[in-house]
Structure 1
Amino acid sequence: MKRPAWLPDNLVLMLLATVALATLLPVQGRGVAVLDGLAQAAVALLFFLHGSKLSRRAVWQGLLHWRLHALVFAATFLLFPVLGLLLRPWLEPWVGPTLYLGVLFICALPSTVQSSIAFTSLARGNVAAAMCSASTSNILGMALTPLLMAAMANWVGASAGAGAVQLSWHSFEGIVGTLLLPFIAGQALQRWTAPWVAAHKAWVRASDQGTILLVVYGAFSAATVEGLYRHLPPATLAALLAICALLLAIVMPLLTVLSRALGFSREDEIAIVFCGSKKTLASGVPMAQILFAGQAVGLLVLPLMVFHQLQLMVCASVARRYARGPQGGVLPAG
């Protein structure tokens, strides 16, 4: 029997268990350095495996559909950040400056790969375009996300307040050394590593999820030790959920309207809606560990964890509507 769309997926359940473990048994003392070393190695391995399994041929073929990708990238790296900044007068008072920066971090992140492709396939959309668009978004995000986050933090004057984002050359070195270089190495060695990765998909998936859980455990352990949970009343969590819902409620219908106004086919529209509205947890959590080193990482990734689960539930419902027939979708045709 299929899991109902409103239930959390297995990864979310594991994330909740990891947060509970970090709250009850946070890592402290010398264990912090050991955990940080393990997390860095795991993140490097994760991006090496991503480079190994991403087909260069699929990327180059998909890039020919430049209008579709331009709309997806505009939604991912322009529309989301603009919304995050324009809505600041309402969002920041709801959740406070630190969680608001976590919301801005969501807005700066690239699209997610696996679920974008899965939902596009379920909805009978252009899977090849979704694969290329989401994958290229992740590659570009290694450079664009830190730059966008620095620009937005400067725009809102975050460097003068609590929870400031302090991006330095060391942050960019971390992105290059821990994310980009392993990914390039995976691409360079793909001829030898890709067959092994294809034959061990379950192991690779476990490695992906294990890396996220490891980083989340370290981030929320630090939050527990620093007493940051005292600043998270239930009303704040409810406001955070409402903010994530608001972002999806704006972006998904808008992409549907734009896709139809620009004359894209229904299959392309599906790929645009799913790739342009989703944000990656797999790349986002490791990236946060590097960008926000020494800061309240646990609180800064909490909005992303909420957004991740919400986007899965919403996209599952939308994908089923698309799959029911040519008139399905977020908005009525015409």
Structure 2
Amino acid sequence: MAQINARVADEDKEKAEKVLKAHGSSVSGYFASVIEYIADTGAIPFEIKQKPKLVNFDEVYAEAVEKFADLYNGLVLMSKAMQPGITDQWERSRALCNDHSLAMSFLQENERYVYGAPCQMEKVTTGDGSQHDFSLGRERFPALKTGLAHALRCINFNSRPLDRSDLDEMSEALSGAEAALQSLRDLSPGERSIESRIAFFITAALDALQAAKVLTDGPNEAFMFHHWFTRLDAVCRDVVACHKRVGSTKWDAQIQLVVEHVATVKNQIDEWNRKRLDFASQNSSNWLAFQGNAIDVADEQVRKLQRTALRGGSR
């Protein structure tokens, strides 16, 4: 029989034991049942998605706007750095393509919060005189998404050398995106709480570690490996962006430690992937096990920050 070990906070374990006991089960018995279910069905019984508990709808809306703003700023910098005649535009824009996917995923996963945020609602009077809430975000986010996607296509989907017309078209698309972005920013609440900023930072860090675990746990099909590798690349940059938005807090040392550990995980996975590809070219097996405990150490630091900064404890 195999044994599975997991590190959790003592208080969380005690609470879980009480809940499970009330349902006639135990921690070990329940998790054994979950593992058996996954093995038998090939499916996960439920998805646990980390959601910031202290974040209201307005702050989720603001975070969505900021993620698209980061993408817009990256595209502007790239457009200024590119010149007609270059042939490596696809490689240069790869990271921004990953960031685009991440921003789109965030908006999709949090659609109910973003489009339900009071800060972007207005009252609309219908013909019968009744008033209804109307989401301005539903009207303006599509224009922003279209402009940014168009700007990316100008440099990412042509195999020929970059032309001046490509850059001019990209500039026009970014101008439209800038107007849409500004209109969305104008609707954002003035000041966001420190708790919400830290919560989004923690969520990004946990997302990065989830991608790291999926990548390194075992062989994946090439398509899925590429998906999680690009996801890790984008979320690690999102960790840095969320860190900048946190600002100065009494948890600065802990937050900085998390940033450093996530960076270590990314660097080690990049190095492991290079070794893995070299190993695959020389062996019939195409999988090389990931060595080290960097992911576990980073996970422990993230959860420690979560307990102290968001749960008000030091456990």
- The structure, 1 or 2, with the larger RCO (C-alpha pairs under 8 Å, 6+ apart) is 1
For normalisation by structure 1, the TM-score amounts to: 0.35
Larger Rg: 2
Which structure: greater helix fraction? 1
